[in-house]
Amino acid sequence: MALKISRKKPASEVSTASTADIAFLLIVFFMVTTVIAATKGIEFKLPKEEKNPQQQQVKKLEAVHIKLFQSGGFTVDKNPMNIPSMKQYVQQKLESSNYNKFIIIQCEDNVPYGNLIEILDILYGMKAKNIAIPTKREIEEWGVL
């Protein structure tokens, strides 16, 4: 009598030896291809057409004028200053006008953009509300600065 001894068939297994390899390959692939999209920056609003040009002129006369030079230095209301003294001066002006004081920034042609951003960054940090960067055309029109 032949006894059928049923052998348990070995369960078919998926080899998992390469799981770690695949995981690392995927990680490296996505690390290399992911681009960190820089979408943050300094917000700046261009002025809409001012309805009252006289009022605009008055605001500009009373404003704090910051002029940047290509040497890297800058003047505030025609006085050369460094960053700490500029911060102090502007802070005083802002506090006395409830942060509504206009700050006009003017740059010479060869001033690097980074310098302008530095000044803007400081002014935003001080919560200045009205910052104007007039174009050369506007400066010529005003003739005040």
Specify the residue, 4 or 137, whose C-beta has the smaller distance to another protein.
137
Binding flag, residue 53, another protein (CB under 8 A): no
Cα 133 to Cα 1: distance, rounded to the nearest angstrom:
104
Is the CB of residue 76 less than 8 Å from the CB of residue 66?
Answer: yes
Binding flag, residue 73, another protein (CB under 8 A): no
What strands lie across the sheet with 102-107, from one edge to the other? 79-81, 74-76, 64-68, 102-107, 130-132
Binding flag, residue 118, another protein (CB under 8 A): yes
Binding flag, residue 55, another protein (CB under 8 A): no
Binding flag, residue 80, another protein (CB under 8 A): no
The stretch near another protein (CB under 8 A) out of 52-60, 71-79, 89-97, 103-111 is 103-111
SS3 38: coil
CB of 77 to another protein, least distance (A): 20
CB of 33 to another protein, least distance (A): 9
- What torsion do the CA atoms of 66, 57, 99, 88 make, to the nearest 10 degrees? 30
Binding flag, residue 46, another protein (CB under 8 A): yes
- In angstroms, the Cα distances linking 35 to 24, 25, 32, 38 are 19, 18, 8, 9
Cα 15 to Cα 52: distance, rounded to the nearest angstrom:
79
The stretch near another protein (CB under 8 A) out of 57-65, 74-82, 88-96, 101-109 is 101-109
Judged by the rule CB under 8 A, the positions of this chain that interact with another protein are 13-14, 16, 19, 26, 30, 34-35, 37-46, 48, 68, 83, 107-114, 116-118, 120-122, 124-125, 133, 135-137
